[in-house]
Amino acid sequence: MDSLLIKGGAPLHGEVTISGAKNAVLPIMAATLLTPEACTIRRVPNLSDVKFMGEILTSLGAEVKCGENALTIRAEKIRGVGDYDLVRKMRGSICILGPLLARLRKARVSMPGGCVIGSRPIDLHLKGLQALGTKISFANGYVVASAPKLIGADLFLGGRAGPTVLGTANVMMAAVLADGVTIIESAACEPEVVDLANFLNAMGAKIAGAGSPTVTVTGVKALHGAEHEVIPDRIEAATFAIAAAATDGEVNILGARPDHMHAVLDKLREARVRIERNGPALTVRRGGRLKPVDITTLPYAGFPTDVQAQMMALMALTPGISIITERIFESRFMHVSELARLGADIAIEGPSAIVKGGKPLSGAPVMASDLRASAALVIAGLTARGATMVKRIYHLDRGYENIDAKLRGLGARIERVEE
């Protein structure tokens, strides 16, 4: 199993190019199941999650051809069973349910796996599909869905922690081939949902309102093949921006979409990080002594839960007290104990973490618990005195394309080692 060995203390300098968004490409790959014609997807990141999704599509009967940062997928003849051995590896695989149901009118998909960051039920997915006329049952760990006919409906997808991104994607993909009009209220507004809608519209779907809380889908008889370029990964861009500030370096981030990152950039500026638009790049560097900030994670366009851990690492370095409140996932503080091993002073009080920052960190072996926790530990390791060994980095490989190579290109002393 690979680990990352980091020797801290080197400020990051140079430029880095942001890869395609993991959270956009997975449902877009699933959407290719909606047509028997070939689809080409570009700016596809080289991630283990993308590999797993390709394997899932292949197991369903699709032909998946890989090029350089591109995929061509043709789902001419498919079957409707998503096997446990593949689907269990990542939560994003549940987004095959909607397109399988739309295309075949039946599907049998294993309950998904993924990072252990708290309860993430799929009840809203199933509620939305049931509103379209789907019968749902459970057997041997599988969701069994059938709908002789999908019929458009008005439905509400709001949940305890806000809208569901993958649930919105699943219902949207089912609704594109339903009879009539579907109106999704309390739809997720994330850029990744907009990207999926743009791809579906390129395939011949009729979707309006993506990016707003109300999405209207007018069903069509069939979809055709299309080409699409995935949006840049806003979470990766945020991670590199935070790493630049944490190491007191200066990094030009190429390909980022600032319009997808308003909440993160606002908090970084509040923390006295200087961010400037420089042509196609965002230039990030400190603007003086860092200032503590309070953060609450919220659905888009609020501060993303996927950047909470990375900001906690930055606040651990910042003199003063910061309060970070997690409103999306109830167990997303598993990185706190590992940051404490590096010397961070963090206390958990209910849904909040109180960070008493400013103490220097020192290297130690740490264990990654999930994807974004891994990124936080890497950022902390880049600033710590001595060597930090981040174990279980298969989490990182799920969502960051060649992060160790990209960091080395910025001057980080980091290497992948096999234990």
Which residues carry out catalysis? 115
Tokens encoding 208: 């309006």
HSE-up (13 A, CA, CB side) for residue 251: 31
Closest by Cα among 272, 322, 317, 270 to 294: 322
Q: Is the bond preceding residue 301 a cis peptide, omega within 30 degrees?
A: yes
CB half-sphere exposure, 405, CA atoms < 13 A: 7
Eight-state DSSP code of residue 331: T
**DSSP conformation class of 52:** H
Q: Rounded to whole angstroms, how far apart are CA atoms 233 and 114? A: 19
| Token reading at 129 | 């599909």
CB-CB neighbours of 160 under 10 Å: 10
The answer to whether 321 and 345 are in contact (CB under 8 A) is no
Cα angle, residue 264 at apex, residues 262 and 266 outer, rounded to 5°? 65
- Angle at alpha carbon of residue 338, lines to 337 and 340, rounded to 5°: 65
